[in-house]
A and B are shown apart, each in its own frame.
Chain A
Amino acid sequence: MLFNSISFAIFLPIVFFLYWFVFNRSLKWQNMLLLAASYFFYSCWDWRFLFLLAFSTLLDYFSGLAIHNSSGINKRKIWLAISVVINLGFLAVFKYYNFFAESFAAFVGGFGFKPHISTLSVILPVGISFYTFHGLSYVFDIYNRKIVPSTNFVEYSLFVSFFPLLVAGPIERATHLLPQMEKRRIFRNEQAVDGLRQILWGLFKKIVIADSCAEYANMIFNNAGSYSGSTLALGALFFTFQIYGDFSGYSDIALGVARLFGFELLKNFSFPYFSRDIAEFWRRWHISLSSWFRDYLYYPLGGSRGGTWLRVRNTFIIFLVSGFWHGANWTFIIWGGLNALFIMPSIIFKTNRNNLDIVAKGRMLPTIREALQMAVTFGLTVFAWIFFRAKSVGDALSFIGRMFTSELFANPFSGHPELLLSRITLALVLVFMLIEWNGRESNYAIERVMLTRKMPVRWAFYFSLVVLIFISAGKEEQFIYFQF
């Protein structure tokens, strides 16, 4: 059940109604309802995956209790290891087994051996990377004595499987979300209205921006051999906005839906394409994953407390692991490695925390220096996305090889009538980025847009967004991050 589907449009009001009007007398029943709705939501992909979700939940729930109740450090370590090994074991089997098997076969094949490797034909359970990380953060926090384990299984299960964040995050922390599960929620009009506005903006990003860009990104990436320099660059640009609209749009919808039920989820995006360096980009892109890796991998490895060499090593490790988290393909690992390379100057010269605030805060326009910094950072990001989008490293290299020729500065539409209408999409992207720029000091771009205007003006704005969403919605497109 996709957020941009008719079935979700039916599902959401039903759950909302039951939640606030039928089960509103008891916190326990409200949580039970959300848990049942979340399991139903997940079963719409494949009911068999429910067993995996339930097993993962049970594992982390009891591991958490066992870690907490164990007196000796060794026992605590054993329980932590059990949870980590089984959780990552599931990921390894469902997501990475074929990658390892094929990579091993290719490696030994290079020495003249021909091993008989059997691959698994299993479907990747949707959202497995997300809920596995939810559970892991919970046991890590208990192990580090940041929290005490939940003794309410329903609340914990809901923390893992809450439907707005179940399949593509944000990757929540027990310290942030579990207390909300334990507390009675009160309906607040401002929160619900804000939630609806964020859902609307998320749908706009997904359906109007991402899906429109996807059409041309797919066309160009799937037929890269037929296009030259500037057209390929255009394809990379389309993908850059596709993935942003897709994933940040999903996150906006997730946050908005959660608000309708009285929950505040972690912010996942904060205008990443206005970043002035790659370090800032990674503080603004998929924030919940970046901070997860920071807290549970980068810091335990020593973080930035050691010398330069240790910082460089740790940075490379988290970027490579982050790349690998996205998918079992060398393209993702190279994408992670490239980002590590791009961030290196700021790590070495300790300038990675120079740009903590949003660019041009309190001003309408950036300075020339800021504009140049943003352009360079954006260019590097676009370049790295080529590896993320390509089917193989060979495809990515060939794409880049064809892109960086003298044709890079030619008219990208010339000789390609099939791309002429993409100019409408580019115009939409431009308008979209202007709205994003205008709202960059808010939590999401239209959070404060027109709030001071009278209701008819505000409603006319929302209506125009609704119209754009409906006329762009030809078919349901899967969200890219569901595959991770």
Chain B
Amino acid sequence: MKLFLTRLFLFTGLVIILNLVLNLAFPIQYKDSYSIRKQYLFDAHHIASRNALFFGTSRTRNHINPADFDAENRLSKCQTSSFNMGLPASNLAETSYLYERFLEQYRGLPKNERKLRYVLFEFHEFGPVSLKNLTAEKSFYWVDFKNLSFAVDYTLATYLKSHQKLQMISGYVSSFLLRTVGFNYINIRHDEDLNLRSALGNGGRGFVSREEAEGKSLRVKEARDEFLADTTRLIKRMELAEHDFSGLSFSRYRNQPNVDRLLDLIKKSKAQGIDLIFVVQPRLGDYKEILGTLKALPARHAIVIANPKQYQDLWAVRNSSDIGHLNVKGAKLFNRYLSDEFVRLVKPGTKIQ
């Protein structure tokens, strides 16, 4: 047994050390179907002409049409030239990580190219990594030590039950290990989505409606079919949201590590002359922590378009693609509401703190 275990540990140890060294020498190159989109979008050079950007998940990608948003703003005499950088299947820490990388690039641009004024950052969930996706690069490429620490601090501060916390922490520790000592230096995967037009949507500004996405992804169609087979799930989700918006003790659900990180993002953005605005979208499964945390941020950095009582049509089946996403009709409405709130927030005389 001693010989067996010694050799087993020795072999495993050598593999780990070799991988650690090689991963340091050749940092992870994240490649998947969205990599073209990410590489293009997060390359700060091409956004030189824009003054507003959207960061977030598939909700941002599928709901916010920069053309509609700019047009609505123009009606209110607010000039924006925006671009959508939403990435599907992201979580809050991943979006923050990408935004920080983006800011690093942006800082390096010549001053005359730095025209960005507003970043509308989707404030969404930070959940566990599902076991099914644990080994997917998408789940771990961003889990460096800083993000692991954040994930642990965040998890310890959530209102979740102990076993859920344990699941979350073990998931992120595994992700960190996979990133650090996995075989990431050998990447023979190919890009499935080599078409830039397809990656950026028909309008070429990053917006891809659910209807457009359905033509490219079987999963989007399956999600719609599943939703249409039982639309009562949306009603249940809406009831939960209504409950979250009414009568909550927000301070109980505040997540202080998240508050600190978001405040840090505001500060870093401000240093680049960017006003960072957090946007809460409809159709989320749980608003308790989002609202609790948002209350701890300066009010002028938040737009909430999610309350079912206030935005009933954004929770209507007719405006839905699936339980978590609006169809193109719903997205149009959302852009109008977003523009209204945005203009109200940034109109002359209203100073963003």
Among B1-9, B49-57, B59-67, B242-250, the stretch that binds chain A is B1-9
Tell which of A421, A424, A470 touches B182, judged by Cβ atoms closer than 8 Å. Answer: A470
A5 at the binding interface (Cβ < 8 Å): yes
A6 touches B190 (CB 8 A): no
Provide 26 A-B residue pairs closer than 8 Å at the C-beta atoms, listed in order of the A residue: A5-B131, A6-B131, A6-B134, A6-B135, A20-B1, A187-B1, A187-B4, A189-B1, A189-B3, A189-B4, A192-B4, A193-B4, A193-B7, A459-B11, A462-B11, A463-B15, A466-B183, A467-B186, A470-B183, A471-B183, A471-B186, A471-B187, A475-B135, A475-B136, A476-B132, A476-B135
A470 to B136, CA, bound (A): 11
A7 CB contacts on chain B under 8 angstroms: 131
Most A CB atoms within 10 A — which of B1, B3, B186, B189?
B1
For residue A196, CB closer than 8 A to chain B, the reply is: yes
Within 8 A of B (CB), among A437-483: 459, 462-463, 466-467, 470-471, 473-476
- Flag if B1 contacts A421 (CB, 8 Å): no
User: Which of A7, A193, A466, A471 has the most chain B CB within a 10 Å cutoff?
Assistant: A471
Q: In the assembled complex, how far is the CB of residue A290 from the closest CB belonging to chain B, in whole angstroms?
A: 34
B188 touches A471 (CB 8 A): yes
Classify chain B's interface size: 20 to 34
Chain A residues with CB under 8 Å of B15's CB are 463, 466
Partner pick for A474 among B8, B131, B174, B189, CB 8 A cutoff = B189
Q: Which residues of A sit under 8 angstroms from B183, Cβ to Cβ?
A: 466-467, 470-471
CA distance A187 to B5 in the complex (A): 12
**Chain B residues in 8 Å Cβ range of A5:** 131
9 A-B pairs with the lowest CB-CB distances in the bound complex, closest first:
A470-B183, A189-B4, A187-B1, A471-B186, A192-B4, A6-B134, A189-B3, A471-B183, A467-B183
With A459-B11, A471-B186, A474-B136 already in contact, the answer to whether A6 and B1 are too (CB < 8 A) is no
* Interface residue ranges, B against A (CB under 8 Å): 1, 3-4, 7-8, 11, 14-15, 131-136, 174, 182-183, 186-190
A113 to B182, CA, bound (A): 61
Q: Residues of B contacting A189 with CB < 8 Å?
A: 1, 3-4
Quote the shortest CB–CB distance from A212 to chain B (angstroms): 11
Residue of B nearest to A17 (CB): B5
- Tell me which of A20, A196, A463, A473 contacts B135 (CB under 8 A): A473
Beyond contacts A193-B4, A196-B8: 9 other A-B pairs, Cβ-Cβ < 8 A, are A421-B190, A459-B14, A462-B11, A463-B15, A467-B183, A467-B186, A470-B182, A475-B135, A475-B136
Q: Which residues of the other chain, A, contact B1 by a CB distance below 8 angstroms?
A: 20, 187, 189
Question: How far does the alpha carbon of A5 sit from the alpha carbon of B136 in the complex, in Å?
Answer: 12
In the complex, what residues of A have CB within 8 A of residue B7's CB?
Answer: 193
Q: Which residues of A lie under 8 Å from residue B187 when comparing CB positions? A: 471
Of A6, A187, A421, A476, which contacts B174 at CB under 8 A?
A6
Chain A's nearest CB lies how many Å from the CB of B220?
A: 18
* Distance (whole angstroms) from the CB of A158 to the closest CB of chain B: 22
CA distance A421 to B192 in the complex (A): 11
0 or 1 for each of A5-17: is its CB under 8 Å from B? (1 = yes):
1110000000000
A251 smallest CB distance to B (angstroms):
23
A2 CB to nearest B CB, Å = 10
**In the complex, how many angstroms separate the beta carbon of B139 from the nearest chain A beta carbon?**
11
- Alpha-carbon separation in the docked complex, A5 to B323 (Å): 29
Bound complex: CA A470 to CA B137 (Å): 12
